[in-house]
Amino acid sequence: MSESAEALRARVLRTLSAAPRAQKPKELARALRIPTADYRSFRRLLEGMERAGAIRRVKGHRFVATLSGDQATGRLSLIRAGDGFVRVEDGGDDVFVPAGLLASAMDGDRVVAMIDRRPRGRNPEGRVVEVLERAVETVVGTFHRIKRVSFVVPLSGKLEREILIPRPDLSEVRDGDVVVVGIRTYGDRKTRPTGVIDKVLGPLADPGVDVLAVAYAFGLALEFAPEVLEAAQRAADERARTPGANRVDRTDLLCFTIDPADAKDHDDALSIALREDGLAEVGVHIADVSHFVEPGSEVDREALSRGTSVYLVDRAIPMLPHVLSSDVCSLMVGAPRFAVSVFMVLDHDGRVHERRYERTTIRCRHALSYEDAQAVLDAGTSIEPEVDAALRSLDDYARGVRAARRARGALDLDIPEAKVVLDREGAPVDIQRRERHESHRLIEDYMILANEVVAQDLEARGGDSIFRIHEAPSPEKVAELAEALEPLGVSVPRRKRLKPLDVQGLLEAPRTPEAHTLVSTLVLRTLKKARYDTENMGHFGLASGGYTHFTSPIRRYPDLVVHRLLAAELLGEAPLSGLSEEELRAVAEHSSVREQAAEGAERATVALKKVEFMERHLGETFDGRVTGVAPFGAFVTLDDYFVEGLVHVRTFEDDYYEFNAGGYALVGARTGRSFRLGDRVEVQVVKVDKEARHIDFLALRKHSRLD
């Protein structure tokens, strides 16, 4: 760059100050006429300005000029006690806001907080001064009427404020009913919010009402509009008969799917062909949803709105109507199905020597469950000789792919997940840890590899795309992790920015499975959330320079968009029209939001079934492990069931316990007795609250520290 760095920095500040919204680096570069050859240097200049505090990064990897005054902008996250933390957009420390200083802000709102004080060794403290964006427009809660006052108590533990209902229709709602409320006013510190009852779901104890309440709370669309269903049926009928000019017949390939045993749709299949030179051509075949769903159609608009399929504890809410998701798009056994296939030639070290793309017609020979595939890999059963051999060859080459990924630092957190077993009425009868087999890893290896290859090839073409990005953890989070791991005897490398290999080393340090699970959980809390973006910033967790989502277009909208971009860039088809860079960015951001809502709903339905399950164990005692510590108590996960509950600090009778944030511990002021992460304890189930989805334990005795 010919001009001085000081002059360019001044131009950056003037441009950002005058801009009507935050700017992406590429937008700034275009506005300032930065030559393409100087773009990397320009990015380094922006990063330097960010470190110096002259500009700050906000949502969507955009930059704004730093606000005057000691303010912070970010999303408000409420905790069980009613206080909140503002997750600052520029990566700084979260700002603590006491419950009385939240004004009208609710959980998830984007707010501006004025920082009043910065205590040493603790989070900054402040108050909400402005709500920029509301996250909540409807609330699900329990209706109550006391004398002439009607109000709704939110079911979400993060929404503490009751909502007044000025004029309810008492002919349709009864005391104790779960209702959906549209918020009309948000109130302030002195007045409560008000709302109108939009829908009555019924008593919480009625079958299915609990899950329905969660679905409405997270804004999930439970049904498709008739016009969307009709459009989907037309597309299925018309497009299934017209494969297109570039379709290649690959029905002679031995293809099969590997999915959960209860899967209703199959969007990926595998094939393998061994070569005489020791290499193998692996085919990753993905359902060709883009052939059936045209951009801008009614089905496309509905899919964009939903963003993703949602898998609740007792039902699946698909992104696409069933005629598409579980019929004509799904790679069903024995039926010719349209796919987009990427063929990758691999060696045993996981290196990709060649790749090519085709729109194909395939016919899957088998739909295997993970358990079916694992039984073959364990040499316990046989499906048929040709399929057995293909599975073992796929596993052989997948191990090379996995080893190559691990060698560069990719993380394998392997966090246990809960599996809720329901009876026919939807009541929970068991809570289990979900098993993870080598067959799961096999599918994961090839899907990750295909997503990386597609991302690399799209980026090499220089066109717009949607990437799956995962940024490195902030220095503040790394420091917190170091403090949390110190009592466990695990040391964090002393550097400002952790590398994936550093984190991988932390995960490999613990000697026991229990310690590994605990360290994995702490590391997961340190990492940022992966999200979608039109700018490729790499994927920290996979130690990948470029990653996208291509392999699940039946259930994820970004994958569908990537298929369309791939067809235009890599299959030589007509360029995708009508989607500007700004619109593509909006799709990425909306998809990230809907993904978070889906994950929240899935976790919430599992949590409520855990509460319902533990209700029948009131008064019983269990052994468990401390898996979380907060100022208000210690969270304990039971050994027998994958269930977590809270031992509230006020239930400790032998001492006054104080929270030691650095050591992630509650420490007795007089005795020095502590409850730390990893401690083994015996607890009693003393209370369950289905409305708030809380389980309370009483600590009976402490066993030992984590080995």
Do 284 and 366 sit in the same domain of this protein?
A: yes
Do 588 and 563 sit in the same domain of this protein?
A: yes
Among 527, 548, 573, the domain-final residue is 527
Do 256 and 391 sit in the same domain of this protein?
A: yes
Count how many domains the chain has. 6
pLDDT in tens, 639-650: 888 899 999 999
Residue at 97 is within a domain: yes
Residue 664 confidence (pLDDT) above 80: no
Residue at 174 is within a domain: yes
Do 496 and 520 sit in the same domain of this protein?
A: yes
What integer pLDDT is reported at residue 52 of this predicted model?
A: 65
Do 461 and 481 sit in the same domain of this protein?
A: no
Residue at 580 is within a domain: yes
Residue 445 confidence (pLDDT) above 90: yes
Least Cα distance to 609 among 436, 435, 418, 416 occurs for 418
Tell me the pLDDT band of 687, cut-offs 50, 70 and 90.
Answer: very high
Phi and psi for 228 in degrees, rounded to 5? -70, -45
Do 680 and 579 sit in the same domain of this protein?
A: no
Do 84 and 183 sit in the same domain of this protein?
A: no
What integer pLDDT is reported at residue 75 of this predicted model?
A: 84
Residue 1 confidence (pLDDT) above 60: no
The domain in which residue 522 lies consists of 472-527
Residue 620 confidence (pLDDT) above 90: yes
Tell me the pLDDT band of 475, cut-offs 50, 70 and 90.
Answer: confident
Residue at 609 is within a domain: no
Tell me the pLDDT band of 131, cut-offs 50, 70 and 90.
Answer: confident
pLDDT in tens, 559-592: 999 999 999 888 888 776 667 788 898 999 899 9
Do 587 and 658 sit in the same domain of this protein?
A: no
Alpha-carbon distance of 360 to 340, in angstroms, equals 6
CB neighbours (10 Å) of residue 65? 19
Q: How far apart are the first and last CA of the chain?
A: 57
Do 282 and 379 sit in the same domain of this protein?
A: yes
Phi and psi for 130 in degrees, rounded to 5? -160, 140
% residues pLDDT > 70 (the chain):
95
Among 602, 632, 650, the domain-final residue is 602
Question: If you count them, how many residues does the chain have?
Answer: 707
Residue at 607 is within a domain: no
Do 303 and 451 sit in the same domain of this protein?
A: yes
Do 554 and 485 sit in the same domain of this protein?
A: no
Tell me the pLDDT band of 514, cut-offs 50, 70 and 90.
Answer: low
Q: What is the rounded average pLDDT of the residues 362-390? A: 94
CB neighbours (10 Å) of residue 286? 27
What integer pLDDT is reported at residue 707 of this predicted model?
A: 46
CB neighbours (10 Å) of residue 574? 7
Burial of 86: CB neighbours in 10 Å, binned 0-12, 13-18, 19+: buried
pTM: 0.82
Do 357 and 448 sit in the same domain of this protein?
A: yes
Residue at 430 is within a domain: yes
Residue 71 confidence (pLDDT) above 80: no
CA 698 to chain CA mean position, Å:
32
Residue at 210 is within a domain: no
**Which of 77-91, 260-274, 594-608, 642-656 has the least mean pLDDT?**
77-91
Q: Who's near 558: CB < 8 A, 6+ residues apart? A: 466, 468, 532, 548, 549, 587, 588, 591
**Which of 6-10, 277-281, 498-502 has the least mean pLDDT?**
6-10
Least Cα distance to 693 among 643, 650, 619 occurs for 643
Name the token pair of 7.
Answer: 């002059």
Query: What separation in angstroms does the CA of 384 have from each of 250, 373, 388?
Result: 21, 12, 6
CATH number for 197: 2.40.50.700
Q: Are 534 and 464 in contact (CB under 8 A)?
A: yes
CATH number for 25: 1.10.10.10
CATH number for 127: 2.40.50.140
Residue at 590 is within a domain: yes
Residue 227 confidence (pLDDT) above 90: yes
Alpha-carbon distance of 445 to 324, in angstroms, equals 27
Q: What is the rounded average pLDDT of the residues 214-238? A: 94
